[in-house]
Amino acid sequence: MKTIAQLTFIPLSSHNPTEEVQELLEHLAQYDVHIEVGYLSTTVIGDTEQIFELIRETYDMLSLEKGKFRFH
Protein backbone atom coordinates (compact mmCIF):
# COMPACT_ATOMS: atom_id res chain seq x y z
CA MET A 1 0.00 0.00 0.00
CA LYS A 2 1.26 3.48 -0.86
CA THR A 3 0.99 6.36 1.56
CA ILE A 4 1.31 10.07 0.81
CA ALA A 5 2.46 12.47 3.53
CA GLN A 6 2.97 16.21 3.31
CA LEU A 7 5.68 17.55 5.61
CA THR A 8 6.41 21.12 6.65
CA PHE A 9 9.50 22.02 8.70
CA ILE A 10 9.79 25.51 10.18
CA PRO A 11 13.01 26.29 12.08
CA LEU A 12 11.93 28.92 14.63
CA SER A 13 15.23 30.10 16.12
CA SER A 14 17.60 29.74 13.20
CA HIS A 15 19.93 32.32 11.71
CA ASN A 16 19.95 30.34 8.45
CA PRO A 17 16.61 28.55 7.96
CA THR A 18 17.25 27.81 4.28
CA GLU A 19 20.33 25.78 5.19
CA GLU A 20 18.39 23.82 7.81
CA VAL A 21 15.63 23.01 5.33
CA GLN A 22 18.25 21.84 2.82
CA GLU A 23 19.80 19.57 5.47
CA LEU A 24 16.37 18.09 6.15
CA LEU A 25 15.83 17.43 2.42
CA GLU A 26 19.19 15.64 2.31
CA HIS A 27 18.08 13.53 5.28
CA LEU A 28 14.81 12.62 3.54
CA ALA A 29 16.70 11.60 0.39
CA GLN A 30 18.20 8.67 2.33
CA TYR A 31 14.82 6.90 2.34
CA ASP A 32 13.40 4.76 -0.44
CA VAL A 33 10.48 7.11 -1.12
CA HIS A 34 9.46 9.51 -3.87
CA ILE A 35 9.99 13.14 -2.80
CA GLU A 36 8.28 16.20 -4.28
CA VAL A 37 9.61 19.51 -2.96
CA GLY A 38 7.09 22.33 -2.95
CA TYR A 39 7.27 25.99 -2.00
CA LEU A 40 5.97 25.54 1.57
CA SER A 41 6.07 21.78 2.09
CA THR A 42 7.50 18.50 0.87
CA THR A 43 5.44 15.50 -0.16
CA VAL A 44 6.78 11.99 0.39
CA ILE A 45 5.19 8.96 -1.28
CA GLY A 46 6.01 5.37 -0.50
CA ASP A 47 5.27 2.22 1.41
CA THR A 48 3.22 2.94 4.53
CA GLU A 49 5.76 1.46 6.95
CA GLN A 50 8.60 3.40 5.28
CA ILE A 51 6.68 6.69 5.50
CA PHE A 52 5.90 6.25 9.20
CA GLU A 53 9.52 5.26 9.87
CA LEU A 54 10.70 8.36 7.97
CA ILE A 55 8.41 10.62 10.01
CA ARG A 56 9.45 9.09 13.36
CA GLU A 57 13.18 9.11 12.60
CA THR A 58 13.03 12.62 11.17
CA TYR A 59 11.20 13.95 14.23
CA ASP A 60 13.68 12.23 16.55
CA MET A 61 16.63 13.65 14.59
CA LEU A 62 15.19 17.16 14.66
CA SER A 63 14.50 16.91 18.40
CA LEU A 64 18.10 15.96 19.13
CA GLU A 65 19.95 18.23 16.71
CA LYS A 66 17.86 21.35 16.17
CA GLY A 67 16.61 24.17 18.35
CA LYS A 68 12.99 25.21 18.35
CA PHE A 69 11.02 24.05 15.33
CA ARG A 70 7.59 23.17 14.03
CA PHE A 71 7.15 19.95 12.07
CA HIS A 72 3.75 19.27 10.49
18-67 pLDDT, tens digit each: 999 999 999 999 999 999 999 999 999 999 999 999 999 999 998 887 67
The count of other CB atoms within 10 Å of the CB of residue 32 is: 8
Q: Which residue has the higher pLDDT, 20 or 72?
A: 20
Q: What domains appear along the chain, each with residue ranges and CATH number?
A: 2-71 (3.30.70.930)
* C-alpha distances in Å from residue 34, one per residue of 5, 51, 59, 62: 11, 10, 19, 21
Q: In terms of C-beta density within 10 A (0-12 exposed, 13-18 middle, 19 or more buried), how is residue 54 classed? A: buried
What CA–CA distance (Å, rounded) separates 14 from 34? 28
How much is the pLDDT for 70? 85
pTM over 0.75, yes/no: yes
